[in-house]
Amino acid sequence: MIKNRLKEIKADLSENITLIAVSKTKPIDAILEAYEAGQRDFGENKVQELVEKFEKLPKDINWHMIGHLQSNKIKYIASFIHLIHGVDSLKLLVEIDKNGRKINRKIPCLLQFHIAQEETKFGFDWNEIVVFLENETCKQLTFVDIKGVMGMASFTDNNMQIQKEFSELKTIFDNLKRDYFHVNEDFKIISMGMSNDYKIAIEEGSNMVRIGSSIFGSR
C-alpha cells in the first residue's frame, strides 16, 4: 500500500523536487516499508518521537524536523538533523547556532514564514526578517546554514486562496535570494505543499513537498 502510494506521488514530481514522507505518529514498520521502496527523507514534528525513530531506523535516513521546535530541545537533534524547517524566530535561530557551535556542526535550517490567514500558524513576516538580516548578530551566526524558506497555506477548500499564499512565499524567497543570499548557493529550498495542496504548491514554485496522509494514510 505505502509503496504504491509513494510511487504514484513520485510520478507527479519532477526530479528537482524533494519528497519528504511525513511519518509523524506512524510506526517503525510503516517507515521501513517506505524506506525499502527507496524513500530516504522523512519528516517528524515532535522531538522525542524523532529521536526514538532516528535511533531505531537505518542511519542513511535524512530526518526533517517540520514542527514547532522549542529552544530547550534543539540539543537532542543537533548532531544528526538533516533540516529544521520551522525556524520562526530570531531567538530560535540564535539557540540553534549555539547548539551547532558546541558540536562544531553547521545546522541546516529553513526560515518559516507566516502566509496563512489563520492566527495560529507560526512564522516570520517579511519586515521581521529584514530587520534581522540587516542586524549584526545575524552575521555572527556561523553555525546555522540557512537554506531557504518554508510555509503552510491556510486550511481551506479555496484553491485561489492557497495559490495566492504559496505565490507569496515564492516571492519572499525570490526577494531574499536577490537581496541577501545571491552569493549563497545553498539558499535554494522552497518547502511548501502537503497532501491536499502539493500540486498547487508545485505550480507556484515549490521544490520540497511534505506529504504524510497521502502516503501513510490518515492519522
Ligand X SMILES: *Cc1c(COP(=O)(O)O)cnc(C)c1O
Instruction: Decide if residue 66 touches ligand X (CB under 6 A).
Output: yes
Instruction: Decide if residue 195 touches ligand X (CB under 6 A).
Output: yes
Of 78, 92, 210, 217, which lies in the binding site for ligand X, with binding defined by CB under 6 A? Answer: 210
Binding letters toward ligand X, positions 131-170, x by CB under 6 A: ---------------------x------------------
CB atoms within 10 A of CB 49: 15
What contacts 24+ positions apart, CB below 8 Å, involve 162-171? Answer: 162/197, 162/200, 163/200, 163/203, 163/204, 165/115, 165/116, 166/115, 166/192, 166/193, 166/197, 166/200, 166/201, 166/204, 166/205, 166/206, 167/204, 167/205, 168/115, 169/113, 169/115, 169/204, 170/204, 170/205
Of 6, 22, 162, 201, which lies in the binding site for ligand X, with binding defined by CB under 6 A? Answer: 22
User: Taking Cα atoms as reference points, which of 218, 191, 215, 216 lies closest to residue 204?
Assistant: 191
Looking at 51-59, 118-126, 165-173, 188-196, which segment touches ligand X (CB under 6 A)? 188-196
CB 54 within 8 A of CB 63: yes
Instruction: Decide if residue 67 touches ligand X (CB under 6 A).
Output: yes
Instruction: Decide if residue 213 touches ligand X (CB under 6 A).
Output: yes
Total binding residues for ligand X by CB under 6 A? 14
DSSP 73: G
Looking at 70-78, 157-165, 167-175, 194-202, which segment touches ligand X (CB under 6 A)? 194-202
Of 23, 45, 99, 206, which lies in the binding site for ligand X, with binding defined by CB under 6 A? Answer: 45
Chain residues that interact with ligand X, rule: CB under 6 A = 22, 24, 45, 66-67, 152, 194-196, 210-214
